[in-house]
Amino acid sequence: MMTAADFDYVSAFVRDMAAIVLEPRREYLVESRMQTLARRENLPTVGALVAKLRDGPNHGLHRKVVDAMTTSETSFFRDLPQFDALRKTILPELLTRHAQEQQLNFWCGAASTGQEPYSVLLLLADDFPELLKWDLKFVATDLCGELIARARAGRYNQLEVNRGLPATMLGRHFTRQGAEWELKAELRGRVDFRELNLAQNWPSLPSLDLVFLRNVLVYFDGETQRAILAKVRRLLRPGGYLLLGETETALNVDDAFERVALANTACYRVRAA
Ligand SMILES: C[S@@+](CC[C@H](N)C(=O)[O-])C[C@H]1O[C@@H](n2cnc3c(N)ncnc32)[C@H](O)[C@@H]1O
């Protein structure tokens, strides 16, 4: 078992570095992730790993712990009703509103291994191909550099493509590379993948029409959630939309947002002044 002091030490710096809250009641999960990392670092025990962490901040080990604590769980077309809402309501609306300048900016703020931004692109390719001729900027970011590298590569194994990706899309937009499937370069190259820690200062982002911050706010305390939503609010263009995970809400976090009910789901936009 991890000692209480070790748990407190780890949760304090994980909170400082990434604003991620490690719940004491989920100690077993923290412990098992620490065990995996200790093994990878050739350290005999979790205690030895924490001792090395306490020893000094300059070996990149703290960062590895933060990466180990983030859950990268994702899949293609996760929370399908949101993609139906994109197809039926949100994208047609944006298409009409911006028909003149033909310019749109999208951002996925917790892109993990890329299934989320690529699902949006696949939807555009199949249902709104004219949008791909517009000036469309699509930025996708994540805290974890390893995940971003995987996302950029756009390669998925059979298990990953079996989770949510329609077979027709797989056939049309992916090519087989050994045991994996690779998204074709013309779509892959449209997403600008970068590292960004939502809990620290953000590098400059364009003003945005569509923001995906799905299944990431849950890891943060209330204060961090408020700070993040306030920044998103300032980046959203008039009429822009924010999409959160199924279990997340902007209500009671930032009153400037209103909930827009859509078939079997919801999204958020900034209230009119
Ligand atoms: C559960 S995944 C969600 C992925 C995707 N948005 C989805 O809904 O399928 C959470 C992601 O949030 C990222 N994350 C955690 N803390 C973060 C932070 N402080 N800044 C940016 N990303 C963070 C993790 O690396 C992970 O890839």
Ligand 1 geometric centre to CA of 102 (Å): 30
- Is the C-beta atom of 147 inside 6 A of ligand 1? yes
pLDDT reported for residue 53: 95
pLDDT bracket for residue 134 (50, 70, 90): very high
Please state the rounded mean pLDDT for residues 63-71: 88
pLDDT at 152: 98
Predicted structure pTM score: 0.91
In angstroms, the CA 112 to CA 91 distance is 23
For residues 107 and 76, is the Cβ–Cβ distance under 8 A?
A: no
Average pLDDT (78-99) is 97
- Residue ranges, CATH 1.10.155, the chain: 4-69
pLDDT of residue 29: 87
Cβ of 215 closer than 6 Å to ligand 1, yes or no, is yes
- 193 forms beta bridges with 140
Q: In whole numbers, what is the pLDDT of the chain averaged over residues? A: 94
Categorize the per-residue pLDDT at 187 as very low, low, confident or very high, splitting at 50, 70 and 90: very high
Answer whether CATH 3.40.50.150 is correct for domain 80-156+185-270. Answer: yes
pLDDT digits (tens, 9 = 90+) for 2-57: 899 999 999 999 999 888 889 888 888 899 999 999 999 999 999 999 999 999 87
What residue spans in the chain does CATH classification 3.40.50.150 cover?
Answer: 80-156+185-270
Task: List phi, psi (to 5°) of 70.
Answer: -85, 140
Which amino acid, residue 253? V
Residue 53: partners with Cβ closer than 8 Å, 6 or more residues away: 9, 10, 13, 61, 62, 65
Residue 137 in tokens: 């900027």
Please report, to the nearest 10 degrees, the dihedral formed by the alpha carbons of residues 93, 99, 101, 103 taken in order.
50
**CATH-assigned architecture of domain 4-69:** Orthogonal Bundle (1.10)
What is the band of 170 on the pLDDT scale with cuts at 50, 70, 90?
very high
Q: What is the pLDDT of residue 59?
A: 73
State whether the beta carbon of 217 lies less than 6 angstroms from ligand 1.
Answer: no
Q: What is the pLDDT of residue 70?
A: 83
For position 51, what pLDDT does the model report? 95
For residue 56, the model assigns a pLDDT of 82
**pLDDT of 166:** 97
For the chain, the three-class secondary structure string (H helix, E strand, C coil) is CCCHHHHHHHHHHHHHHHCECCCHHHHHHHHHHHHHHHHHCCCCCHHHHHHHHHHCCCCCHHHHHHHHHCCCCCCCCCCHHHHHHHHHHHHHHHHHHCCCCCEEEEEECCCCCCHHHHHHHHHHHHHCHHHHHCEEEEEEEECCHHHHHHHHHCEEEHHHHHCCCCHHHHHHHEEEECCEEEECHHHHCCEEEEECCCCCCCCCCCCEEEEEECCCHHHECHHHHHHHHHHHHHHEEEEEEEEECCCCCCCCCCCCEEEEEECCEEEEEECCC
Per-residue pLDDT reduced to its tens digit, 207-255? 999 999 999 998 898 999 999 999 999 999 999 999 999 889 998 899 9
Dist CA 247 CA 269 (whole Å): 17
Question: Distance between CA 79 and CA 230 in Å, rounded?
Answer: 24
SS3 216: coil
Which pLDDT value is given to residue 28?
87
pLDDT score at 77? 98
Distance (Å) from CA 97 to ligand 1 centroid: 30
Average pLDDT rounded to a whole number, residues 90-114: 97
- Residue 75 identity: S
**Best residue among 112, 210, 213, 214 to mutate for probing ligand 1, ranked by most atoms within 8 Å of CB:** 112
111 C-alpha vs ligand 1 centroid, how far in Å?
6
